[in-house]
């Protein structure tokens, strides 16, 4: 049995996994779980992942949830040809792990905190939360001094970071203070196979949803 991925195209964590699968040229059976329709609550899916989150990967019976853990597993198991993606060297790996903990625990959280209320409640963005998001994007600007977020080579940390940053950009967020981040998004879009098919449509869908919600909030204000 090959790889199976439960996924939905606008989801940021799903997109980072799909981009890495594509980069590694792995065949995967993608099963759509449309969270907008609540399909993650289907009993069959809950049986597989009681936490009912996507992405969920199954590899030969092994079920793996949590997008960054999936990226680490895929690189550990399948990136033999490209040792730079997730090097075994503890010092190099520590920088990659640091960046992935940052994107999971800080950048992604601040992105959701700043923009989700606009989508869900049709309220204007809270400027304090937007400032916290900008602070986090500013940290990424500094991480990029050697070209990628964990140094001078493409690593799995770039798959998660680029997926989030491209979504922030798709929301129409002002990126003019972050020139390194802006060109990094373009660089990743050019380097990561399948970006235009597997990532950008989801970022655009999510971005258009945000922009329509913002317009609604502005009209009501």
The catalytic residue positions are 11
SS3 28: strand
> What are the contacts of 84-88 at 24+ separation with CB within 8 A?
84/153, 84/154, 84/155, 85/154, 85/155, 85/156, 86/155, 86/156, 87/155
Q: Which residues, numbered 112-171, are part of the site for ligand GSH (CB under 6 A)?
A: none
Q: Is 66 in the site for ligand GSH (CB under 6 A)?
A: yes
What is the nearest approach in angstroms of ligand GSH to the Cβ of residue 85? 19
- The two tokens of residue 9 are 């195209």
- Per-position x/- string for 6-45, each x denoting binding to ligand GSH as judged by CB under 6 A, each - no binding: -----x-x---------------------x----x-----
- Select 115 or 178, whichever has its Cβ closest to ligand GSH: 115
Segments in 122-178 forming alpha helices (H): 127-143, 156-170
- Interface with ligand GSH (CB under 6 A), residue total 10
- Select 157 or 178, whichever has its Cβ closest to ligand GSH: 157
What is the nearest approach in angstroms of ligand GSH to the Cβ of residue 147? 25
Strand ranges inside 13-124, DSSP E: 28-32, 56-59, 62-65
Stretch that binds ligand GSH, among 46-54, 90-98, 136-144, 198-206 (CB under 6 A): 46-54
Separation between Cα atoms, residue 45 and residue 56, nearest integer Å: 10
For the sheet with 62-65, list strands across it.
28-32, 3-7, 56-59, 62-65
CA proximity to 133, closest of 149, 109, 155, 116: 109
Q: Do 148 and 155 touch, CB atoms closer than 8 A?
A: yes
Q: Do 22 and 74 touch, CB atoms closer than 8 A?
A: no
Q: Is 54 in the site for ligand GSH (CB under 6 A)?
A: yes
Q: Do 178 and 86 touch, CB atoms closer than 8 A?
A: no
Judged by CB under 6 A, which of 7, 53, 166, 167 binds ligand GSH? Answer: 53
- Select 12 or 151, whichever has its Cβ closest to ligand GSH: 12
- The two tokens of residue 176 are 């003019």
- Select 34 or 186, whichever has its Cβ closest to ligand GSH: 34
- Select 49 or 155, whichever has its Cβ closest to ligand GSH: 49
Q: Which residues, numbered 174-193, are part of the site for ligand GSH (CB under 6 A)?
A: none
Q: Is 198 in the site for ligand GSH (CB under 6 A)?
A: no
What is the nearest approach in angstroms of ligand GSH to the Cβ of residue 91? 26
Residues that bind ligand GSH (CB under 6 A): 11, 13, 35, 40, 52-55, 66-67
């Amino acid at each position: 049995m090959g790889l199976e991925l439960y996924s939905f195209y606008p989801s940021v964590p799903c997109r980072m996994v799909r981009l890495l699968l594509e980069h590694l040229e792995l065949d995967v059976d993608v099963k759509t779980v449309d969270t907008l329709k609540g399909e993650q609550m289907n009993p069959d899916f809950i049986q597989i992942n009681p936490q009912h989150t996507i992405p969920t990967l199954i590899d030969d019976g092994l079920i793996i949830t949590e997008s960054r853990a999936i990226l680490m597993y895929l690189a550990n198991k399948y990136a033999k040809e490209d040792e730079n993606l997730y090097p075994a060297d503890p010092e190099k790996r520590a920088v990659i792990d640091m960046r992935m903990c940052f994107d999971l625990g800080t950048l992604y959280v601040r992105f959701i905190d700043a923009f989700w209320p606009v989508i869900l409640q049709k309220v204007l963005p809270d400027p304090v939360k937007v400032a916290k998001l900008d602070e986090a994007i500013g940290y990424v600007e500094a991480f990029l001094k050697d070209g990628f977020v964990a140094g001078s080579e493409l690593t799995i940390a770039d798959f998660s970071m680029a997926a989030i940053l491209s979504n922030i950009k798709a929301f129409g967020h002002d990126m003019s203070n972050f020139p390194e981040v802006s060109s990094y998004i373009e660089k990743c879009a050019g380097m990561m196979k399948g970006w235009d098919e597997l990532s950008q449509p989801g970022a655009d869908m999510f971005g258009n949803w945000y922009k329509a919600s913002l317009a609604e909030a502005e009209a009501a204000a």
